[in-house]
Amino acid sequence: MPRPRHAAQRLINLLEGITTIIGTFTPWLTLLLILGICTVVIMRYFFGAGSIALQEATTYLHATIFMLGIAWTLKQGGHVRVDVFYRNASPQRQAWIDVAGGVLFLLPLCVLILWLSWDYVLSSWAIREKSNEGSGLPYVYLLKTLILILPATLLIQGVADILKNLLFALGLSNHHSATKVEPL
């Protein structure tokens, strides 16, 4: 195996390892979300009590699941794609389409989100932004940090996918990114 291909494969494995760690951790948050929502409902309808903090916690969990799960979903091929050209293409052509899509759309979008949200998130951290509700959670700044984590994790998985597809398209690998193309 030539050295550049070996180095690229090690980088792909490292990047996908990060996505896998996050992706295997995230479903457990769904369990916490369900328990939190059930607790809110039981408290409200059976005991006539409510908790703003618990309601906000479920909102935080919901946001965290989606913001952290997006890179894992990309790794699993679960994102929606317009498959007009993709569906009937050969695997090598699919890999080239994935490389082009990643370079032209995914990476620039991630960089744009990072650039546009950086000051917004830092401002929240600077004042340690908290809930507008008196009994709410004092961690709005942590929630807003997810706005930076989302494009960062997408960048990580996007680079891994681009490299994997590029190696496949050039005939240097037998694997390209996961795809789930459903028939019309």
The residue extents of the domains of the chain are 3-169
pLDDT digit string, tens, across residues 47-69: 999 899 999 999 999 999 999 99
Identify the pLDDT of residue 182. Answer: 54
Cite the beta strand spans of 30-99 per DSSP E: none
- Whole-structure pTM value: 0.87
Task: List the one residue out of 156, 155, 153, 173 whose CA is nearest residue 164.
Answer: 173
Identify the pLDDT of residue 140. Answer: 95
Burial per residue of 20-39, b for 16 or more beta-carbon CB atoms within 10 angstroms, e otherwise = eebbeebeebeeebeebeee
DSSP 59-92: HHHHHHHHHHHHHHHHHTT-S----TTTTTS-HH
Classified as helix, coil or strand, 138 is coil
Higher pLDDT, 129 or 89: 129
Identify the pLDDT of residue 179. Answer: 62
Identify the pLDDT of residue 75. Answer: 92
pLDDT band, very low/low/confident/very high, at 173 (cuts 50, 70, 90): confident
Find how far residue 163's CA is from the centre of its chain: 18
